[in-house]
Amino acid sequence: MRVVAPRSVLRVAPALAVLVVAIAGCGGDGGGGLGGSADVVELAATELEPAESGPLVWMAEEFRLDPGETLEHVHEFAFAYARAGTHMLGIEGERRTLEPGRGAVVPARTRHRHQPAASTGAGSAGTTLWEIRLAAAGAPATPGARRIFRSEPLEGIPKRARASFLLVRIPPGGETSVHTHPGPELIYQVAGRILYQNALIGTVELGPGGLEGIPPGTPVQKRNRSDADAEFLSWFLVDPAAAFAPGAEFRSEGAES
């Protein structure tokens, strides 16, 4: 299967940084400090340079591959995410194993291959993977893929952006700090429930499958008032020269409890 990248794409900078690191606290370097009691893992990150202007969206698609099945294609810049089963990602002759819950950078316009990891055990179920593409707003879906989400057009993407893909866990009764980001953020709830508050929409409750995004400089906080862990995935396009999550406050109303 070959998917041709549309005209409006981002070009990956020459030096790629593919990271799997745990980050705690609230800070400016890296890509994960959200403050409070949030546990943040950066699954993958790199720096991008816009090739052309135009509305861009995050578009997540799911592929399910049976043992021995291979998916090979070309498209815009994306993050790959092993949702279930061990996954093999091949890019330009290099192969990388992604255990469930891990992510990787897929450079724009680079042919790459997805396949389940070889298994000698009986009853192998193959692999389920997501590709979260940074695509033109009108980009077509990939034939055969199941759409997980397509965001609203992203506002305020920096001219040079650090793209990062995070997994955030908030324990029962926990919360992030109130903070902003120097670029647009998108979150997708994967487990548990949170109270999501930002200065534009107020407070909403997000359960599995919930999706919210904010433009740069918008105060935001996530709070877990349940008795179970809450987890969400986040995608950022931020100015790498600015603090990642500077502290902020809600001016129109206080944080709700």
Longest dimension (CA), the chain: 59
**Is the residue at 246 inside a domain?**
no
Q: Are 48 and 8 in contact (CB under 8 A)?
A: no
| Letter string b/e over residues 173-212, b meaning 16 or more CB atoms within 10 A of that residue's CB | ebbbbbbbbbbbbbbbbbebbbbbbbbeeeeeebeeebbb
Q: What is the pLDDT of residue 167?
A: 97
Instruction: Please indicate, yes or no, whether residues 14 and 62 belong to a single structural domain of this protein.
Output: no
User: How many domains does one find in the chain?
Assistant: 2
**Is the residue at 251 inside a domain?**
no
* Percent of the chain topping pLDDT 70: 81
State the pairing for strand pair 202-206/78-84. unpaired
In angstroms, the Cα distances linking 232 to 19, 76, 176, 191, 246 are 18, 24, 12, 7, 20
* pLDDT averaged over every residue in the chain: 84
**Is the residue at 83 inside a domain?**
yes
Instruction: Please indicate, yes or no, whether residues 110 and 179 belong to a single structural domain of this protein.
Output: no
Instruction: Please indicate, yes or no, whether residues 146 and 159 belong to a single structural domain of this protein.
Output: no
- Each residue of 109-152: pLDDT tens digit? 999 999 998 754 445 679 999 999 999 999 999 999 999 999 99
Range of the domain at 39: 10-50+155-238
**Is the residue at 131 inside a domain?**
yes
Instruction: Please indicate, yes or no, whether residues 171 and 44 belong to a single structural domain of this protein.
Output: yes
- Residue ending a domain, choose from 150, 177, 198: 150
- At a CB cut-off of 8 Å and minimum separation 6, what does 132 contact? 58, 59, 60, 78, 79, 81, 165, 235
Closest CA to 107 of 15, 183, 29, 22: 15
Instruction: Please indicate, yes or no, whether residues 85 and 36 belong to a single structural domain of this protein.
Output: no
Average pLDDT of the residues in 146-164: 95
Average pLDDT of the residues in 178-190: 97
**Is the residue at 255 inside a domain?**
no
Average pLDDT of the residues in 70-78: 95
> How many helices (H) and strands (E) in the chain?
0, 19
- Each residue of 104-118: pLDDT tens digit? 999 999 999 999 987
**Is the residue at 248 inside a domain?**
no
